[in-house]
Amino acid sequence: MEHENHTFSSDFILLGLFSSSQTSQVFFSFIFFIFIMTITENALMILLIHSESRLHTPMYFLLSHLSFMDILHISNIVPKMIADYLSGSRAISFAGCGFQIFLSLTLLGGECLLLAAMSYDRYVAICHPLRYPVLMRDNTSSLLAAGAWLVGILNSIVHTSFALHFPFCHSRAIDHFFCEVPAMLKLSCVDTSHYERGVYVSGIIFLLIPFSVISISYVQILLTVFQMQSSGARQKSLSTCSFHMVVVIMYYGPFIFTYMRPRSYHTPGQDKFLAIFYTILTPTLNPIIYSFRNKDVFVAMKNIIQNNFLNKK
C-alpha cells in the first residue's frame, strides 16, 4: 500500500531530448518546425477531403482519419517537449503521464489498423476494380475506421491501467521525451515479465498481423501492376507503392523493435531515437506521401483557391 500511495502522489520527470547545448537548440528549432508543418498539412488535408466532393471516396475518408490521428499524436507529445524546454521544468504529473500513455497507445494501435485498412482499399481498387464499389461501400470504410478507433481505445485502456498499476519505488526520472510503456516499466520495482508477455501478444495483433496484411496487399498490387500494358501507368503505380512501403517500414519497423523486445534489451538512447520515427516523422510524411503527391488533391486545392478568390471578388 505504501508503494501505491507513493505512485499516485508523485510526479515523474521526463529527461527529454534536449539539453542546454547549441546543438540541442538547433534540434529544438527543427522539432518545432516539424510540429507546425505537421499540424498545418494534416489540417489542410482534412479540410480538402471534407470540402471537395471529388475526394468523398473511401480512400480519402480513411486518409482523413489518418490525418486526424497524426494531429492528435504529435500534439500529445511535442507541445509538452516545447513547454519543458522553454520553462526548464521537466515534471509531469501522474495523471498527465497516464493521459500521454493512453492517447499514445490509442493512436499508435489505431493507426496500425488504419494503415492495414488503407492497404486493403488500394488492393481492391487496383486488383479488383470492378468489385470496388461493392467491397468498399461507404459503410464499409466507416466500419473500418470506427473499428480502428474502438480496438485502439480498448487496447489502450488495458495497457494504461496495467502500466500505471505497478509501483514505482526507485527513481521517477523517465529517460524519454514522453511517457511510453517500455520506459515506464524500467522504473518499476516489481517483476513485470507477465505483463510484458501481454505486450508481445498486443504486438502480434497490432503490429505483425497488420504489417503482414499490408505486405501481402502490396505484393498483390505489384503483381497486378507488372501485368499492366501501359508503361506510364506501371511506372506511376510502382512509384506510389514504393513511397507507401517506405513510410510503412519507417512506422512499423521502429515500433516493432521497441515494443517486441524484452525490457533488458532496451537502451534509453535507442528507444528515444526509434520513437522519433513513429511519433514525429511519420505524422509529417503521411500527408505528403499519401495525399499531396496525388493529382486529385492538387485539383481540389486549386478549386478551393479559385472559389475563395472568386468569392472575394
Cβ 160 vs Cβ 101: under 8 Å: yes
Q: What is the DSSP string of 47-89?
A: HHHHH-GGG-SHHHHHHHHHHHHHHHHHHHHHHHHHHHHHH--
Give the CA diameter of the chain. Answer: 72
Q: Which DSSP state fits 277?
A: I
Task: Of 4-13, 100-109, 179-188, 286-295, give the lowest mean pLDDT range.
Answer: 4-13
Please check the confidence at residue 49 and state whether its pLDDT lies above 70: yes
Residue range 214-228: mean pLDDT, rounded: 88
In the chain, the amino acid numbered 187 is L
The type of residue at 233 is A
> What mean pLDDT is reported for the chain?
86
301 or 273: which leads in pLDDT:
273
Given a cut of 80, whether residue 119 has pLDDT beyond it is yes
Query: Does 192 score more than 90 pLDDT?
Result: no
- The predicted pLDDT at position 275 comes to 93
pLDDT greater than 50 at residue 6: no
**Of residues 3 and 107, more confidently modeled:** 107
Q: Using one digit for the tens of pLDDT, what is the confidence trace for 65-100?
A: 999 999 999 999 999 999 988 888 889 999 999 999
Q: What is the pLDDT of residue 2?
A: 43
pLDDT of the residue at 288: 87
Q: Distance (Å, rounded) from C-alpha 117 to C-alpha 44?
A: 22
pLDDT at 310: 57
Q: What pLDDT was estimated at residue 44?
A: 92
| Higher pLDDT pick, 262 / 141 | 141
Q: What pLDDT score does 93 carry?
A: 92
pLDDT given for residue 3 in this prediction:
44
For residues 225 and 126, the answer to whether their CB atoms sit within 8 Å is: yes
Residues with Cβ within 8 Å of residue 157, at least 6 apart in sequence: 102
Q: How far apart are CA 201 and CA 212, in angstroms?
A: 15
Give, as one character, the DSSP assignment of residue 137: -
Whether residue 5 is predicted with pLDDT greater than 50 in this model: the reply is: no
- Order of all β-strands in the sheet with 91-92: 91-92, 12-14, 173-174
Answer yes or no: is pLDDT of 1 > 60. Answer: no
pLDDT band at residue 226 under the 50/70/90 scheme: confident
DSSP symbol at 192: -
Judge contact between 207 and 48, C-beta under 8 A.
no
Of 10-14, 67-71, 204-208, the one with minimum mean pLDDT is: 10-14
Strands 173-174 and 12-14: parallel
| Amino acid (one-letter) located at 200 | Y
For residue 236, the model assigns a pLDDT of: 72
pLDDT in tens, 272-291: 999 999 999 999 999 888 87
At 121-130, the pLDDT tens digits run 989 988 898 9
What's the pLDDT score for residue 17?
82
